[in-house]
Structure 1
C-alpha cells in the first residue's frame, strides 16, 4: 500500500476540525498539533477523540484516534516506528496503541480479505470461541437479531431445549413461535468454515459444501422468527384460573409490568407486587 503525506493545508484543516469538535481542554489538540508538526510526511486522513469515564488501570482517560484508512496497514507500521513503538498484529488487524503526554494514541487498519491468506485462517472452534454450552451443545450468538448457531447437527429436540434454556437463563425470556408457526421450522442445517478474520475473536462463518477443506457441520436456529416474552424471577398463580405463570408484559395503558397467564383460554393479566413505575415519563 502506498503512503501519501498530507499537504500542509490538509494538516491545518485537520487541526481546525479537531479544535472545533474538541469541547474540553484535555490535551488532544496539543498532541494533534505536535504530531502534524513533527511527522508531516506520515499518512493521516483525520482525527477523532475519545474520552473514558472509567479508564482501565494504567490506561489514559483521553485519547486521540488517528484515521489512516481502513486497510492502510503500512501507515500503522510507519506511525508506530515514528512514535518508537511496535504495532500489535492480531490476525489481519494491525493496531497502534501508545501515549504522548498522557494522551492515548490509537489507530487501526485491517488487511483486506483478498490480500489475506484466508485458508490459513480456518480454525476449529473451542469453548473459548463461543458464547456458551447447553446440554453439551456448543452454541454461540449469531448477528444482532437473537439467532443462534450450534456447532454440529444435534437432534432437533436438543436444539430446541438448548435454545429455550439459553433464552430463559441469561436472557430471562421465553421464546415462543411467532404467529402460529412452529419453532422447529426455524432450524436449518448445513456446513460451514470458521474463519479467523479479521481476528479470531471476531471470526466469520463461511457457508460451504460438505467436502470443502475445514468444513464442519453446523445448525442455525433463526430465533428472530419467534416471539420473546420476559420472565419473572418467581412463579405466580393466575388469580383467574390458578395456572402457574412466570410470563411478564407491560400494561398498554399504565405502562406497569404485569403478569400474563400462559393459558390460551385465559390470558388474564394482573399486576406485579411492588411493580416499578412506568418506564416512559409522562408529560
Structure 2
C-alpha cells in the first residue's frame, strides 16, 4: 500500500496544511491495522513537518531475522536526495549507512522499522574512483579457474579475461550442468562458438559494489579489462537426468531429457544426431488425461 503525501507544506500539532490534512485523513482510514505503521507515520508527520517526505510505503516481513522488526514504514524522500536521508537519520537519532553512492536510513519507532534510501546521481558521483577489478566475491562462480558472472535472466554469461574458446565452452557447459541441471545446445544450423564475443569493459561500483555496472569501452580506457560474453539465449536448453541411460537403439549413453510432443510424457533423448531415439523415463507419471477432469 502506497500513500503519496504533498511535496510541500507540513503538519504541526495544531493546524495542518490542507494537503497534509488530507494525508492525515487518509492515514486515519488505516488505523484499524494492528501493526502500528500508520500511527508511526502520523507521528512522523506531526513531529517533523519540515523534513522532506513525498510518500509512504508499508512493508511486512514474513520471517524477520531475530532482533529486527516485522513491519516497516518506508519513507519516500526522493531518489537522489541523500541530504534528506541525513536529516531524517539525525532527527531519529540514527546514523545513515553509506555504501558507495547509496545512502540508507534504518531506524525504529515503537517496534516499527523506519527505512529510506537515496542515491547520489551518477553525474556528480566520482565514478572514476569507483572502478574496480572483480574478485571471487564479486562473481557468480568459477569454473576451470575462470571467473563467471550471470547476466540478466536469459542465461547469458560473462567471463573475466579472454580465455581460449574451448575453455569458455567447457565452463559454460559445467555452469549449465551444475547450476541449472541442463545442457546448453545450439539451435539447428548454429554453433555455440558463434555465441561467444570478445571485448573490453570496466567494472564500476555504482551505486554499490554489490550492484556494480559493466561499462563497455576501448582497450585504452583507464581501468579497462578484457572480457568475454557468452550469449546463451542463442542456444537451446535441455534438461538432464540424474543418471546416465543407454539408448536402446544405438547404445549411446545419454542424460538428455525431453517431453513427447504427442502425449507429453517425459522421455530420454539419444544425443546421437543420426539416431535421436526417444524412450520413456522409468517411473515417470503418465500425462494427465483431459477425461480425468471431465
* TM-score for the superposition, normalised by structure 1: 0.90
1:161 corresponding residue in structure 2: 170
1:202 corresponding residue in structure 2: 211
1:108 corresponding residue in structure 2: 117
Deviation string, structure 1 residues 105-149 (Cα, Å, up to 9, x no partner): 111111110010000001111111111111111111122211111
1:246 corresponding residue in structure 2: 255
Q: 2: distance between equivalents of 1:254 and 1:98?
A: 57
Q: 5+ unaligned residues in a row in structure 2: which ranges?
A: 1-6, 11-16
Give yes or no for the alignment of 1:130 onto 2:136: no
8 Å Cα contact 1:196-1:204 kept in structure 2:
yes
| CA drift at 1:25 | 2.4
| Backbone CA RMSD of aligned residues | 2.5
8 Å Cα contact 2:30-2:38 kept in structure 1:
no
Pick the structure with greater CA Rg: 2
8 Å Cα contact 1:22-1:49 kept in structure 2:
no
Q: 2: distance between equivalents of 1:69 and 1:140?
A: 32
Give yes or no for the alignment of 1:62 onto 2:71: yes
8 Å Cα contact 1:5-1:42 kept in structure 2:
no
Q: 5+ unaligned residues in a row in structure 1: which ranges?
A: none
Tell me: CA distance 1:88–1:248, structure 2 relative to 1, closer, same or farther (3 Å): same
- Partner of 1:158, secondary structure, is helix
* TM-score for the superposition, normalised by structure 2: 0.87
Aligned pair partner of 1:271 in 267, 274, 280: 280
Q: 2: distance between equivalents of 1:165 and 1:15?
A: 57
Write the mapping of 1:229-240 to structure 2, written as runs, cut at 5 A.
229-240=238-249
Q: 1: distance between equivalents of 2:42 and 2:241?
A: 55
